[in-house]
A and B are shown apart, each in its own frame.
Chain A
Amino acid sequence: MTHVIDVQHLQKLFHQEVALRDVSFSIKKGEIFGFLGPSGSGKTTTIKILTAQLTKNKGQAYVFGKDAKEMSKSSNRARFGILTDNSGLYLRLSVEENLSLYSKLYNLPNSSVKEALEFVNLYDVRKKKVSQLSKGMIQRVTLARSIMHKPELLFLDEPTSALDPVNTQHIYNGLRKLNEMGTTIFLTTHDMSEAETLCDRIAFLHKGKIRAIGSPQQLKKQFGDDTITVELIDGSEHCIENCKDEAKKVYDWMRSGLISRIYTNEPTLGDIFLQVTGSDLI
């Protein structure tokens, strides 16, 4: 089994209202996979089904080759970690006390608390009560808690929403390190640049359906119009097809020393999203 997650024709209704219409995708071991979609598109619902917090209506959902329902078992829970926007911490306890509870729940050695806190760069504030921390710090403590058992699979539901750039960068670095150590990551976001910087592959989710899927490069190629723009020294811009017939133009400009800049016209992920869904992200 090389797929850590395999989802086929997943459907979820909330009282007749469709949250997931027909979702199919799979995630290979070691991948960072991004679910990109505006709020209400069904990202959290998908994660909840995969972690046995919700039951599906139709389709198949497999995690570690097992029916996602089995993720409610203790032994399977030890294999994944999860960070959601409302993962709770105990406000009256210190950072260290919060993690120490989980190190025991996961049956980890005492050193795991220190390791996890160093991972998110928070070892210095370990004695502080959670209620005294900033939002960004709380998010990092929660991340530390969700990765302290070095899970094979990590679910991240909008991990950097409402974080400042510095904290976001901290989290990105941590996630890359974790991924290099072998953790498969399933991440949801409505931030295109986040998807682009972190993910090996992304899927666009819109109104409960996947509209496009692939690596950022693939998607850009697929949805790009294959033109290049040549900017001349007189300031004029020329959009030309990237093909043999246009080669002579470029050749002549270049020989006459008229070119100041040449670039390909890649669409941004946001452009592609707009193109495939007809609506803006967010």
Chain B
Amino acid sequence: MNFSRIQAIFIKDYKEFSRNYAVSIMVLLPLIMAFIYNKTGVNNIQAYFLPINLAFTSVTAFVQCCLIAEEKERNTLRSLMLSPATLFDILLGKSLLVFSISAVTVLLSIFLVGYNPGNWLILGIALFLSIVFYTGLGTLGALFTKTILEASVVILPIILLFSFGPFLTVLAENIPVLKVAEWLPSTQIILLAESLEVSYTLSDVLIPIMTILIWTIIIWLSTIFLYKKRMVD
């Protein structure tokens, strides 16, 4: 791992992102939603988390997926792989930008929607892990596909599933299969936020955080595995 290489990839990505309006405009989506929600006067956790989960999927996962898919399609990723930059230099450098943009977008969404979490520290940990998870999800989606077009098609149902997964739990009473949606990171973070509003126990905090952590580890191990495979034809 080499800090100046990571930084160089980050700076490169920032320049590309800021000139790629088709992708950078996605940042506005959760912000607009948060703003509108605030104006309609919602005041429950479920509603607060709609723009937040949308930021995770349409900014974190989607933008990451587009950026990496483009590098694949244009063969710039292969060129990076053939330079002395290591796997971690490239994956970290390529995740840092989306991570930073996501962090800002999520915080702005929270502010715009008018949400004031019960415990900033605990929620902060969950938000941090979630961003890491969705960055991995976007990377994985891009590594699976060959072109930007393919990638955006693949990532779409994933976005829908993770953004609106929490709503599936409501339907779970009639369709028991949907109970698995309870274990999605997007549902778990809502459950966590809801407990933070009342007097919560250790397990109320640990279960969601551990669940998101496990998702994060699994997604990144798969990403690293697939990346290594993509290094050879």
Contact = CB atoms under 8 A, between A and B. Distances in A.
Interface of A: 48, 51-55, 72, 74-75, 77-78, 82, 86-93, 97, 100-102, 104-107, 145
B177 interface: no
Given A86-B75, A88-B75, A105-B8, A53 B82 contact: yes
B191 to A, nearest CB: 41
Contact of A105 (B71, B85, B231): B85
A40 to B, nearest CB: 16
Interface residues of B, number: 29
A75 B84 contact: yes
29 contacts: A52-B232, A53-B231, A53-B232, A53-B233, A54-B232, A74-B84, A74-B85, A78-B84, A82-B82, A86-B75, A87-B75, A88-B71, A88-B77, A88-B79, A89-B74, A90-B12, A90-B76, A92-B19, A92-B20, A93-B15, A93-B16, A102-B83, A104-B7, A104-B8, A105-B5, A105-B80, A105-B85, A105-B89, A107-B2
B78 interface: yes
Tell me the interface secondary structure of chain A in the complex: loop
Contacts of B77: 88
A92 to B, nearest CB: 4
Contact of B15 (A75, A78, A82, A97): A97
Contact of B76 (A55, A77, A88, A106): A88
Contacts of A55: 232
Interface in B55-110: 71, 74-80, 82-86, 89
A249 B79 CA distance: 62
A77 B76 CA distance: 16
B83 A87 contact: no
Contacts of A102: 83
Contacts of A78: 84
Tell me the interface secondary structure of chain B in the complex: helix
Nearest to B86: A74
Contacts of A100: 8
A48 B74 CA distance: 18
B84 A90 contact: no
Nearest to A54: B233
Interface in B16-69: 16, 19-20
Contact of A97 (B12, B80, B86): B12
Contacts of A72: 231
Nearest to A51: B82
A101 B8 contact: yes
A77 B74 contact: no
